[in-house]
Structure 1
Amino acid sequence: MSNMILVEPSTDFKLQYIEMIEEWKGTGERMVPFVLRYDYEDFDSFLDKIKNLRDNPMQDEKTVNSSTFWLLENDERIVGAVNIRHRLNRYLLEIGGHIGYGIRPSSRRQGYATEILNQSLRHARSLGISRALVTCDKDNIASARTIIKNNGILDSEATINGVEIQRYWIEIR
């Protein structure tokens, strides 16, 4: 696999980010993680919103502080994004977990999801997380395989808002 690194969102990669988002929008798929759905027309405000998620206390029941990264290939192409939650609340314990990640459509089935989750787990460890919860829709076989490749152990399944969710725990070493 080529050189892959997690980078913090910045204006340095604005064009690469927009290219990834436009590709994704063209598929009509729901973009994951949720931060990919933020409006980026005013790119500086977009970056401020992501930094606010990381640094400022959250005031609602669904949101906790989280760090966002882009998976950069060979210092030039963004192939995915990840959002790492610093802690879990009741909502995220049921659905969402510590780590939400997504790979742009043209880069799937090439090992990038396994790599982004692996690097995200190392970052989660640096945040003091020793056991990470990662969830996926039960019908998302590729995501389940990625989680299992990263030592995920299926804990439970539940139907939430009509969607079957699998919950995996990963011990971070």
Structure 2
Amino acid sequence: MEEYKLVEPSCDYQDEYINMINEWKLTGERMIPFILRYDCSNFESFLDEMLKLKTSTSLKEGIVNSTSFWLINSQGRVLGATNIRHELNRNLLNIGGHIGYGIRPSERLKGNATRLLAMALDKAKLLGIKKVLVTCDKDNIGSAKTIINNNGMLDSEDVVNGTEIQRYWIKNE
């Protein structure tokens, strides 16, 4: 049976991570969560940025502390990524929420997104987040199903910057 784990970004999975990013770029899709769009050409600097997001007390205005994880299978393949915001600001309450997640294109429709969000909820619980906001574009049916599969309850819909979004809350106690 396949084993999965969440790992924090590290040099141990550098080649696999870059492989995932390159695969994603070939699709032309916007990479989510936002951390996937960080420049990783200098991997040490990239890892420093991930650590800064997690621990810094002086982030740019509008940015909150967050912890990133990669979903890894038993062969060491990076299947996706998640970013857990430790708290919400006004913008994240509107769009973004506590948890962003994404699965590399070749690993979709295999249950990996549901697995990744479930594992991210466990990590959020360890951070003391007992009520989790997760948002998705209204036309992203797969993401909506992933959130609902993890006990997400639709709270509201809105148009943000011309995109219809849905806001789901998940009790995480």
Which TM-score band applies after superposition, normalised by the shorter structure?
Answer: over 0.9
Q: Any stretches of 5+ residues in structure 1 without a counterpart?
A: none
Distance in structure 2 (CA, Å) of the matches to 1:3 and 1:50 = 25
Q: Which residue of 2 aligns with 1:44?
A: 44
Answer yes or no: is 1:131 the counterpart of 2:127. Answer: no
Distance in structure 1 (CA, Å) of the matches to 2:50 and 2:24 = 19
1:21-100 pair list within 5 angstroms? 21-57=21-57, 58-61=59-62, 63-100=63-100
SS in 2 for 1:165: strand
Distance in structure 1 (CA, Å) of the matches to 2:60 and 2:13 = 30
Q: Supply the RMSD in Å over aligned alpha carbons.
A: 0.8
Distance in structure 1 (CA, Å) of the matches to 2:60 and 2:38 = 18
Q: Which residue of 2 aligns with 1:121?
A: 121
SS in 1 for 2:27: coil
Give me the TM-score of the superposition, normalised by structure 2: 0.98
Q: Any stretches of 5+ residues in structure 2 without a counterpart?
A: none
Shift of 1:2: 1.6
How many residue pairs get matched? Answer: 172
Query: 2:60 corresponds to which letter in structure 1?
Result: Q
Distance in structure 2 (CA, Å) of the matches to 1:19 and 1:59 = 29
Shift of 1:59: 3.1
Answer yes or no: is 1:110 the counterpart of 2:110. Answer: yes
Q: Which residue of 2 aligns with 1:165?
A: 165
Give me the TM-score of the superposition, normalised by structure 1: 0.98
Shift of 1:75: 4.5
Distance in structure 2 (CA, Å) of the matches to 1:82 and 1:161 = 23
Distance in structure 1 (CA, Å) of the matches to 2:80 and 2:29 = 14
